Amino acid sequence: GNSVTQMEGPVTLSEEAFLTINCTYTATGYPSLFWYVQYPGEGLQLLLKATKADDKGSNKGFEATYRKETTSFHLEKGSVQVSDSAVYFCALSSRGGSARQLTFGSGTQLTVLP
Amino acid sequence: DTGVSQDPRHKITKRGQNVTFRCDPISEHNRLYWYRQTLGQGPEFLTYFQNEAQLEKSRLLSDRFSAERPKGSFSTLEIQRTEQGDSAMYLCASSSGTGGYYNEQFFGPGTRLTVL
């Protein structure tokens, strides 16, 4: 079955530090990969996505590259801000089937200190 | 606000009671999903509707759980004879559905259930 393994948190960084959150996956076929973010008190929001190998998803300074050879989709940002403090979830969606249900990792809590 | 809404936001109940949650998706979305999220974990898929048809159910959805989407618009999730293990955040998401390609799922704020 499908699974997502995420770097355990919590992660605490100073403002302007470099961020990496590791994500690896197991899936049949060629899944689509996503990063979702959950800000305090808000619902999950799609941060970025990649639908095929070597695609790079990017948004709000965050980037992640779909690496089929290492089954990874690590999230990076060159300079984090206090406003990036949130929980980040890596997820995948298999191409087969009709539901396109998402399989999530366990989440990584990021706190950015001023 | 035209996002996904859920009601109630919080529910506290005693073990053995029945509870019902409501989800109103984005109006033009034909697909609706329910997920459950326990503390420190990512959301887990429960069930999925395309219009009014319930097309997939996870094995997590025991006989005590039932979901409906009678007119292809809002959906309800009912839990009968609640147990303490049902305590979780219940998330609803919706998406448009165009063929076999992924369409972004938009999530609601969730209903937090506490079973005493």
Q: pLDDT digits over A2-36, tens only?
A: 899 998 889 999 999 999 999 999 998 788 999 99
CA-closest candidate to residue A35, choices A52, A3, A54, A57: A57
Q: pLDDT digits over A79-111, tens only?
A: 999 999 999 999 998 765 545 789 999 999 999
A19, A74 Cβ separation under 8 angstroms: no
The segments of chain B whose pLDDT lies below 50 read none
Torsion on CA atoms A65, A3, A97, B33, rounded to nearest 10:
-90
Query: Which residue of A6, A44, A107 is in closest CB contact with B107?
Result: A44
Query: Rounded CA gap, A80 and B6, in Å?
Result: 32
Whether residue A43 and residue B102 make contact (CB cut-off 8 A), yes or no, is no
Query: Rounded CA gap, A107 and A109, in Å?
Result: 7
Instruction: Give the pLDDT confidence score for residue B98 in this predicted structure.
Output: 64
Question: B79: exposed, middle or buried (C-beta count within 10 Å: 0-12, 13-18, 19+)?
Answer: buried
- Strand partners for A91: A34, A104
Whether residue B91 and residue A98 make contact (CB cut-off 8 A), yes or no, is no
Q: Which residue type occupies B113? A: L
Query: Rounded CA gap, B43 and B50, in Å?
Result: 20
Chain B residue nearest residue A41, CA to CA: B109
Tell me, what DSSP letter sits at residue A91? E
The tokens of A15 are what?
A: 């403002």
Query: Which residue of B40, B50, B102 is in closest CB contact with A93?
Result: B102
Position A66 pLDDT exceeds 60:
yes
Instruction: Give the pLDDT confidence score for residue B40 in this predicted structure.
Output: 87
Beta strands at B65-68 and B53-57: parallel, antiparallel or unpaired:
unpaired
Instruction: Give the pLDDT confidence score for residue B25 in this predicted structure.
Output: 96
Instruction: Give the pLDDT confidence score for residue B1 in this predicted structure.
Output: 56
